[in-house]
Amino acid sequence: MNRKRPGTGPLTVTVFVFPGVRLLDVTGPIEVFASANEFGGHYQVQIASEDGAEVVTSAGTRLSADLSLSEVREPSDVLVVPGGPEWETLIKDEALLDVVRQLNEKARCTASVCTGAFLLAAAGLLNGRRAATHWRHSRQLALRFPSVQVEPDAIFVRDGKMMTSAGVSAGIDLSLALVEEHYGAEVARAVAKDMVVFMQRPGGQSQFSVHSRAPHTRQEMLRRILDAVAENPGANHTLTAMARTAGVSVRHVTRLFCEEVGTTPARYVEQVRLEAAQVLLETGDDAMPVVARRTGFGSPESLRRAFVRRLGVTPGAFRASFRTTGVSTNDAVSEAISA
């Protein structure tokens, strides 16, 4: 089914590039739209830089631009704003932000990839809106731009004409969603199979954000508790045991966690245990009962419930998805893709 507006020409996708842009943030979406053209889509993709000159990406690769800002006269159906590792510098570049604002005015839909969300936020385009970015930077986005409602676990978010996506490859997920919106699920599915990617990947960003750092705190008693949990997640870490470790009351421990960590003791312990389980599943061959016991969950069922609730995938699916690229199981992968 073709959902493109009848009687119109190709849908124009303008990808904005700038010095230091991340290469895959640019090429991932372009590949999706170009591939869609092979399966019934009709996209015209153009790369625009501020002055029409080529740019050097963060990887050192040179990218040529098709046109400059002044040459973007017709409205774009989709504007793609990629990110870059030097986003802290980019959001202070008023000239660059002004280009983003001008391009957004001429776009029916504006979509960012990874830290491109910081450019949109700094340009004032995400005020009062929901947004996503790479899990590693979601806290910074929320702190720097409190008017933006950050959804840290989302792969991509749409709020009105604005779309924002998580890190790097999530730009492919976002672009596939746009292809489905424009030309239907069959075309998007064909593109996903052609690129050998999920049409809709299982789970959210939480499954990627393992090894999170322990919270910083000046409270020595709380530091002792946090260290004890990190050093041995499978030990007894009930509220009573924590209070005993710190030499304070249960009530005081609860208050410290609320003020210093921003969560309850039980939720913090579960998060640390979950990360420990992820490491074991990624790197070892232990059976699920062993993983559950070593990480303090007790039983495989408790482990499974925690994974599904916090990450959106089962422990088995996590192990299968993140332990290997599948190079040794080509037959199974080929069958799954062609199904």
Residues 226 and 126 in one domain: no
Is 114 among the residues known to form the active site?
Answer: yes
Number of domains in the chain: 2
Segment 28-74, tens digit of pLDDT: 999 999 999 999 999 999 999 999 999 999 999 999 999 999 999 89
What is the per-residue pLDDT for 229? 87
Active site residue: 13, 26, 47, 114, which one?
A: 114
* Max Cα–Cα distance, the chain, nearest Å: 74
**Residue 240 clears pLDDT 70, i.e. is over it:** yes
The number of beta carbons lying within 10 Å of the beta carbon of residue 158 is: 20
What is d(CA 229, CA 211) in angstroms, rounded to the nearest whole number?
A: 14
**Pick the residue with more confidence: 311 or 335?**
311
Of the candidates 133, 155, 158, the residue with the CA atom closest to the CA atom of residue 144: 133
What is the per-residue pLDDT for 327? 41
Q: Is the dihedral of CA 59, 60, 66, 70 positive or negative?
A: positive
Residues 267 and 220 in one domain: yes
Looking at 205, 231, 248, which one is the last position of a domain? 205
The number of beta carbons lying within 10 Å of the beta carbon of residue 240 is: 11
What is the per-residue pLDDT for 227? 81
In a domain, 16, yes or no: yes
Segment 300-327, tens digit of pLDDT: 999 999 999 988 889 998 887 655 444 4
Mean pLDDT (whole number) for 97-121: 97
In a domain, 328, yes or no: no
In a domain, 337, yes or no: no
Q: Residue 299: which CATH number?
A: 1.10.10.60
**Hey, which bits of the chain come out as E strands?**
11-16, 43-49, 55-56, 62-63, 67-68, 78-81, 110-112, 130-131, 149-150, 156-159, 162-165
- Residue that has been written with the tokens 């973007």 in this structure: 72
In this structure, are residues 178 and 78 in contact, taking their beta carbons and an 8 Å threshold?
yes
Domain range spanning residue 173?
11-205
Q: How far is CA 175 from CA 22, 52, 61, 142, in A?
A: 16, 24, 23, 24
In a domain, 330, yes or no: no
Segment 128-180, tens digit of pLDDT: 999 999 988 998 999 999 999 999 878 899 999 999 999 878 899 899 999 99
Local confidence band at 198 (pLDDT 50, 70, 90 cut-offs) = low
Local confidence band at 339 (pLDDT 50, 70, 90 cut-offs) = very low
Residues 87 and 147 in one domain: yes
Residues 37 and 106 in one domain: yes
Spell out the residues 6+ positions from residue 178 whose beta carbon is closer than 8 angstroms to its own. Answer: 78, 109, 111, 163
Looking at 174, 205, 236, which one is the last position of a domain? 205
Query: Does the global pTM surpass 0.85?
Result: no
| Among 95-104, 254-263, 316-325, the range of highest mean pLDDT | 95-104
What is d(CA 334, CA 339) in angstroms, rounded to the nearest whole number?
A: 9
Residues 164 and 226 in one domain: no
Residues 42 and 71 in one domain: yes
Cβ-in-10-Å burial (0-12, 13-18, 19+) of 277 comes to: buried
Local confidence band at 211 (pLDDT 50, 70, 90 cut-offs) = very low
Average pLDDT, the chain: 86
Looking at 179, 205, 231, which one is the last position of a domain? 205
